[in-house]
Chain A
Amino acid sequence: MKPLSQRAYHVLFVTPALLLSVAIVLLPALLTFGASFSRWDGVSAPAFVGLANFEALAADNVFWQAITNNIQWALIFLTIPMAIALVAASLLLSRRKSGAVYQVIFLLPYVLAPVANAVIWQNIILSPVSGLLGFVSKNFVPLSSPLTEPSTALYAVAGVDIWHFWGYLTVVFFAAMRQTPEEQLEAAFLEGANGWQVFWNVTLPNILPTLGLMLVLVTIFSFLTFDYIYLITQGGPARATEMLSTYAYKFAFTSFQVGKAAAVALVMSFFGLIASIVYVRMSRASLEA
């Protein structure tokens, strides 16, 4: 038997990963594309219906509500956790010893299962009967559960998700800030700059590539957000927290309108794609380096 060439070996090395990804991700994604132009219940043969699913969505108030909610979610996540994490990371920068301890504590909620976090918050914090909120409400100021009010539910779920997420951003920013050249910082302080001026003129410019990447990733994940919403409110009350992801999921597995689910999935992916193009362009620079 002729020995394989070096190149043949390398082709064999990449094959299992590529094959698995194509079978699980790429081919089903193409099926989703096809399903979005069909009426399909997931079991019987799909029937081609052209653009009917997209037309139905365009006339569907819930669909537009979901897009609005996703945009609101993105705006919340692009500002609040970003700001908290930037402040926390720059404060850790001057605490070289305790910084390591702080970042482990901040990261703790991030490594726990969304199921655990969601059930904990729902019951021991936000429940009007058994939670901290109920305790404050019964003994001090009357409060209603923010999860049952359509006007506040989105912020309440976002609050739980931010609680779990901001530590990750802090750790990433902290790592990026530590790469700021020491002599730049010293020079700034010698010139009499205060903490804010140093942050604005030295630290921030140095972490700009990381900050940009995080903004792109947060945008992408805001349009895909699913876990905390589905676990805490299932999109309710009165669709106040319905997202494209939860709406698509219900189409597929509650009403078995897989064609419509696929159409919503394509819209979600479109939002993600715009951000992904930015992401790929940013990553290419580092790939070719």
Chain B
Amino acid sequence: MQTGASPLSRTLANLFLWGAVLVALLPLGLVALNAFKPHTAIVANPLSLPESLSLDNFARAWNGGKFSIGIVNSLLLSGTTTLITLAFASLAAFALARRKIPGWQLITIYFLCATTVPIQLFLFPLYFVYAKLGIVGNFAATALILAAINLPITIFLLRAYVISIPQDVDDAAFMDGANPLQTFLHVILPLMRPGLITVAIIVFLNSWNEFLITSTFQKGRSNITMTLGYLSMNGTYATDQGALMAGAFILVAPIVVFFLLLQRFFISGMTSGAVKG
């Protein structure tokens, strides 16, 4: 397509893209490199290659970051959040797409406003209500908050999928004697599968990475997630950068693999709401 591009502009373009690749990957490369080095070697030169592939740093990081507690809590929290969000959002998306309920416009506008509502607008009273109820630190209670935050955008993504399914499909199911719940479960839901997978992946990753709500509500040694456990190493492990980098490796590597395997879903999910034609 770029028939008119001169060799010079082609070179400049390549330099820009390679520079961008370098900047994007350098911090992660440094993590991989220094996760295998002792502290003194890192301080001497963070760019030097490791002399051995010793896993000592990883053992210290695993204990220091309390990852064996964190991984269980992270899976419980993100898994529960994803299930609640998916169940509630797909039902609501179906109802809002079919426009059979009174006030569907008002509800749609409400969820639209909720997509950009600041967490701080509801965080403080919510925390003190949770404290009063004694459910601070309970992963299921925290999952409800994360689900409520993820719901609006999820509803809009799924709503677009339902709209693409013709109303005739519902009508045919109705003629066959199915009630709307049966129609939803056996007809609509299977047709929405690509959307459900995309949304599940994005919601799961969002909750895995989430910081503000998680750090506020999952306090206490037995409630911490992987990210919070790792965060507790920052500072206390300043003089053991090897362990700190190994901890970053433990935290980042699964997400990188997860992302590379499923990148097609990520990209379609991220752009479907944002690209306007």
Q: Which residues of A contact B (CB under 8 A)?
A: 3-4, 6-7, 9-11, 13-14, 16-18, 20-21, 23-26, 28-29, 31-32, 35, 42-43, 84, 87-88, 91-95, 102-109, 111-117, 119-125, 129-132, 134-135, 163, 167-168, 171-172, 175-176, 179, 185, 189, 192-195, 209-210, 212-214, 217, 220, 223-224, 226-227, 230-231, 245, 248-249, 252-253, 258, 261-262, 264-266, 268-269, 272, 275-276, 279-280, 282-283, 286-287
Q: Which residues of B contact A29 (CB under 8 A)?
A: 117, 121-122
A-B contact pairs, 28 of them (CB 8 A): A6-B100, A11-B95, A17-B151, A28-B123, A28-B125, A29-B122, A31-B129, A87-B16, A88-B16, A91-B16, A106-B24, A111-B209, A115-B211, A116-B252, A119-B244, A120-B248, A122-B234, A129-B238, A134-B43, A175-B267, A226-B119, A227-B212, A248-B120, A253-B216, A265-B120, A265-B124, A279-B116, A286-B276
B3: nearest chain-A partner, CB-CB: A189
Q: Is there contact, CB below 8 Å, between B30 and A132?
A: yes
Q: Which residues of A contact B4 (CB under 8 A)?
A: 189, 192-195
How many whole Å from A170's CB to the nearest CB in chain B? 8
How many whole Å from A241's CB to the nearest CB in chain B? 16
Q: Is the interface of A mostly helix, strand, loop or mixed?
A: helix
A231 to B148, CA, bound (A): 24
A275: nearest chain-B partner, CB-CB: B116
Looking at the complex, which one of B9, B13, B151, B263 makes contact with A104 (CB distance below 8 Å)?
Answer: B263
- The answer, yes or no, to whether B101 is at the interface (CB within 8 Å) is yes
Q: Is there contact, CB below 8 Å, between B180 and A6?
A: yes
The 3 A-B pairs of least Cβ separation, nearest first, read: A31-B125, A24-B148, A28-B122
Q: Is there contact, CB below 8 Å, between A3 and B16?
A: no
A225 to B83, CA, bound (A): 28
Q: Which residues of A contact B164 (CB under 8 A)?
A: none
Residues facing A in B87-117 (CB within 8 A) are 87-89, 91-92, 94-96, 98, 100-102, 107-114, 116-117
Given contacts A119-B248, A209-B276, contact A7 B122 (CB under 8 A): no
A195 to B55, CA, bound (A): 50
Q: Which residues of A contact B79 (CB under 8 A)?
A: none
Q: Is there contact, CB below 8 Å, between A17 and B91?
A: yes
Given contacts A91-B16, A115-B230, A227-B212, contact A16 B92 (CB under 8 A): yes
How many whole Å from B35's CB to the nearest CB in chain A? 10
Q: Is there contact, CB below 8 Å, between A28 and B100?
A: no
A11: nearest chain-B partner, CB-CB: B101
A176 to B87, CA, bound (A): 30
A214 to B5, CA, bound (A): 29
Interface string of B171-209 (1 = CB under 8 A from A): 000100001110010000000000000000000010011
Q: Which residues of A contact B3 (CB under 8 A)?
A: 189
Q: Is there contact, CB below 8 Å, between B241 and A124?
A: yes
Q: Which residues of A contact B84 (CB under 8 A)?
A: 20
Q: Is there contact, CB below 8 Å, between A272 and B276?
A: no
Given contacts A28-B129, A252-B124, A269-B117, contact A130 B275 (CB under 8 A): no
